[in-house]
Structure 1
Amino acid sequence: MSNFIIKQAPIFTAKTTQGLINIENYFYIKNIVLFFYPKDNTPGCTKENIDFKNLYNDFTNNNTEILGISRDTIKSHENFKCKYDLPYNLISDDDEKICKLYDVLKKKNIFGKSFYGIERSTFLIDMKANIIQEWRRVKVENHAQEVLNFIHNLNSK
């Protein structure tokens, strides 16, 4: 499910697999695909990351950087990135600050247990630092291609 919106992207500094980044460093230079996923090395999250990896050159050719984010530790992200040869940064949000900024923590129930977890979500941030598209409750299948298609459509206007 996607919604066309325009709102200012929340600003953050975060630990990544390539050191500390400030999201503002990308503003006015590139578009950003910021995708939140629940956990490294789980089937759906692995497939989603591999799908973005396989389309990475297409995204970069469209002046778009990909950033994956979950609550996993940097160590977990480094192992995950290395295992699947991911070409983009993974952000560790182990204190959930960024998840809260983007409102992706949702109540979940599994086997009768209730907890808060990441709702798989993707945000497209344009070069003017605006969220111009968001996808909530993402289904992994064809999602990366859907995001790329959206960017292609924007560029063709």
Structure 2
Amino acid sequence: MDGVERDRLARDIGDFRRALLPGFLLHLLRGFEGEDPSVIQIVTLYVLDHTTATTLRELADHVGRSVSATSRLVDQLVRRGLVDRHEDPDDRRARRIALTESGANFLREFERARADAQLEVMAYLNAEERELVIRAMSLLGEASRRRIHAHPTDPEIR
């Protein structure tokens, strides 16, 4: 992809995001009730959604934060009931962090709201164009799963 094509793609993605995000973000904020979610909170939930229960240090490595900053982040998510901390059965000194059912439900609702917002934008396409976008999104999902599978321990990819 040359620079012109890349710039065009970036512009098109930007236009799409501007059309998609206002309603989507308002829905997201309503779901957090009270304190607005941060990007790092959402990222943390997604990291926990794709891993088994992890230690604080491992989670800090995944999200690129210090252990103390990650501990405060986890505290916030525990208070909201989105994550849980429990004793590691193999090492009583270690505590494991995992997504709760409420946390998983929040992410699924987040994804549904995003899909609904995308479908609202896609309503301005004809049937053939919509099918093409649906197929392209399916291919991107598959490429994402392949990428994760190819690099299962790389925190930058998960």
Please give the TM-score of this superposition, normalised by the length of structure 2.
0.31
Instruction: Please state which structure has a larger fraction of its residues in helix.
Output: 2
Please give the TM-score of this superposition, normalised by the length of structure 1.
0.31
